[in-house]
Amino acid sequence: MLEHPKELKENEVTFNQLVRENHQKIYSLLRKMVRSHEEADDLMQETFLKVYKNLSKFRYQSQPGTWIYRIAVNTAINYLRREKLHQFLNLESAYSIREEVPNSPSEELREILRRAVGKLPPRQQVTVMLRIYQELSFKEIAAIMECTENAAKVNFSHAVNNLRILLNKVGVNFESL
């Protein structure tokens, strides 16, 4: 695992090594942000294509994994914005085609929560994904989101408040989660 960004130059770390080291956590993040494996695969391919094209532009001011996370987050945010625009225009979305039916109450609750997170603004979605599902610190989230640590905390707080409202609308007590 790379400990310092300078190691990229010193050890001539290859693109393939970066993919191997980061692909699981990037896929996990993307999979939680979209409904289907196919969408996550497409976003991951797009993310690593951008990494490959921009590897020579990497400024070594952060960890390579943080840089790749940032590319993945931006790629996902852009995708989510396009999806919301399609939904707004009443175009058939990929989400409605791949609707999964929950089998148990806990799966149903997870599905309700996932849908509620999907209704948040893109930056709030990403913050929730990074904090809850990836278990990153606010400092790490701030580096990925290119904002201050305080801004990451405020964004997360707004997301939690919005989730509380959304879940209460569908009869789920947020405090019981």
**CATH number listed for the domain at residues 1-99:** 1.10.1740.10
Q: In this predicted model, which residue has the larger pLDDT, 92 or 133? A: 133
pLDDT digits (tens, 9 = 90+) for 107-163: 788 888 888 888 999 889 989 988 988 888 999 999 888 899 999 999 999 999 999
Q: Which positions ≥6 away from 101 have C-beta within 8 Å?
A: none
pLDDT digits (tens, 9 = 90+) for 53-72: 888 888 878 889 999 999 99
Q: Is the pLDDT of residue 12 over 60?
A: no
CA-based angle 132:133:136, to the nearest 5? Answer: 65
Q: What is the pLDDT of residue 93?
A: 35
CATH 1.10.10.10 residue spans of the chain: 102-177
CATH 1.10.630.10 assigned to domain 102-177? The reply is no
CATH 1.10.1740.10 residue spans of the chain: 1-99
Q: Rounded mean pLDDT of 30-42?
A: 89
The label of the residue with tokens 């699981």 reads 24
Task: Please count the helices (runs of H) and the strands (runs of E) in the chain.
Answer: 9, 0
Compute the chain's Rg from CA coordinates. Answer: 17
Q: In this predicted model, which residue has the larger pLDDT, 1 or 147? A: 147
